[in-house]
Amino acid sequence: MEFGGPGLKSLSADERATLCNMATECSARTGICEADDILYDWMEGRMSHLDMTEQRSRAIEPDEGAEYHGGVHHIDLSTIRPMVAHPGNPDEGIPSDPTNGAYIDEIGDVSIDIAYGGSCTAGKIDDIAYYARVCQAAKERGLTVREGVDFYIQYGSGIVKDVAVSKGWHQLFLDVGVKLIDPGCGACIGAGPGVSMTPEQVTVSAINRNFQGRSGPGKLYLASPLTVATSAFTGSIRAWGLNAL
Ligand code: SF4
């Protein structure tokens, strides 16, 4: 899959990594994004040994009038509403996501036991910034994680954790009751804190896949980092927005 256009230019390198990571869920072998200054700046900030003039000269672009076997699909990012992917149970013939993405404002009241922010697609610096945005708002309102909910955040790497510490997010998370986990794959692969223990438990998670049993026997909804963090304070699945808390 190839991503491009004005919408892509509004996404950070972190967000583009998530986009490409998830291309496999569309049966694509990989995902690639058009290169632009956002990417070059990101590379330059992390890989000082690179000759950026050379890197820019090596970039390739789609041919004029290129044909794509899967067609060209236009997505207006301004029309996207917050969604979740439903938990499923293939053993009982329930597909993992019967609606291919349900709008949060249409799923009713879904109480949660676990909110989990982490994994390679939702433990990046941008993602941690999203969790911090919600946690800061919660702190200013005098809120802590809702009683009965465990909110875990697992950093995607040591570098991400260092950034969180330096920006004060790490302490902010502790202040509002988040349970922090050192970097790793963690609950995404059914390992460590954040994994459900019973079939009745409900999780809202920013990990990337919710195959039955992957992260414990419970019901796992996939959602964005903003939704996961908001839900941790409200106790049921809620999208972030004005007056969300
Ligand atoms: S187990 Fe999860 S967090 Fe780890 S690499 Fe795979 S998808 Fe990413």
Please check whether residue 120 lies inside any domain of the structure: yes
Two tokens, residue 104? 């949060």
Last residue of a domain, one of 48, 78, 108: 78
Q: Read off the CATH number of the domain in which 109 is found.
A: 3.30.499.10
> Which is higher by pLDDT, 12 or 92?
12
111 plus 213 within the same structural domain? yes
Ligand 1 atom at minimum distance from 209 CA: 7
CA of 119 relative to ligand 1 center, distance in Å: 6
CA of 226 relative to ligand 1 center, distance in Å: 20
pLDDT band at 91 (very low <50, low <70, confident <90, very high): low
115 plus 217 within the same structural domain? yes
Whole-number percent of the chain with pLDDT over 70 = 95
87 plus 201 within the same structural domain? yes
92 plus 64 within the same structural domain? no
Residue 57 exposed, middle or buried by CB count within 10 Å (0-12, 13-18, 19+): exposed
Q: Is the pLDDT of residue 47 over 90?
A: yes
20 plus 7 within the same structural domain? yes
The whole-number pLDDT of residue 25 equals 80
Position of tokens 């200013």? 140
15 plus 91 within the same structural domain? no
Q: What is the pTM of this model?
A: 0.92
pLDDT digits (tens, 9 = 90+) for 172-184: 999 999 999 999 9
Mean confidence (pLDDT) of the chain: 92
66 plus 134 within the same structural domain? no
Q: Is the pLDDT of residue 98 over 80?
A: no
Last residue of a domain, one of 13, 48, 78: 78
CA of 221 relative to ligand 1 center, distance in Å: 17
Ligand 1 atom at minimum distance from 121 CA: 8
Please check whether residue 87 lies inside any domain of the structure: yes
Domain count, the chain: 2
134 plus 214 within the same structural domain? yes
Last residue of a domain, one of 24, 55, 78: 78
Q: Is the pLDDT of residue 94 over 70?
A: no
74 plus 86 within the same structural domain? no
Please check whether residue 244 lies inside any domain of the structure: no
CA–CA distance, 110 with 99 (Å, rounded to integer): 16
Please check whether residue 245 lies inside any domain of the structure: no
71 plus 116 within the same structural domain? no
Q: Determine which residue's CA is closest to atom 8 belonging to ligand 1.
A: 120
The whole-number pLDDT of residue 213 equals 87
CA–CA distance, 220 with 126 (Å, rounded to integer): 23
Q: Is the pLDDT of residue 100 over 80?
A: no
**Owning domain of residue 44:** 2-78
Please check whether residue 127 lies inside any domain of the structure: yes
Which residues line ligand 1 at a C-beta cut-off of 6 Å?
Answer: 119-120, 185, 188-189, 208
